[in-house]
Chains A and B, each alone.
Chain A
Amino acid sequence: MTGSAAAPSLLEVRGLRKFFPIRKGFLKRTVGEVRAVDDVDFQIQRGETLSLVGESGCGKTTTSRCILRALAPTAGEIRFRTVAGPVVDVATLSKNELRPLRREMQMIFQDPFSSLNPRKTLLDIVGEPLLVNGVGSRAERIARVAELLRLVGLRPEYMRRFPHAFSGGQRQRIGIARALALHPSLVVADEPVSALDVSVQAQILNLMLDLQAELGLTYLFVAHDLSVVKHVSDRVAVMYVGRIVELAETERLFTGPRHPYTEALLSAVPKPDPRRRAQRIVLEGEVADPAHPPAGCHFHPRCPYAVDVCRTETPRLVPIEPGHLVACHRAADLRLRGIGG
Chain B
Amino acid sequence: MQFWDPRIEEMPQADLKKMQYKLLKSLVCRLYSFSPFYHDRMKEQKVHPDDIRELADVKKLPFMFKKDLRDNYPNRIFTASQEELVRYHVSSGTTGKPTVVGYTQKDIDMWSTSIARGLTAIGLGRGDVIQVSYGYGLFTGGLGLHYGAERIGATVLPTSVGNTERQVELMQDLEVTAIACTPSYLLHIGEVAEKMGVDIKKDTHLRAGILGAEPWTENMRKRMENWLGIKAYDIYGTSELSGPMFTECAEQNGFHIWSDIALVEVIDPKTGESLEPGEKGELTLTMLQKEALPMIRYRIGDIASVDEDVCPCGRTSPRINRIQGRVDDMLIIRGINVFPSQVEYTLMTIPEVGQHFQIVVERKGALDDMLVRVELTKEAFSDKINDLMLIRQNVEHRLRNALNVAVDVELVEPGSLPRFEGKSKKVIDKRVL
B is a partner of A: no
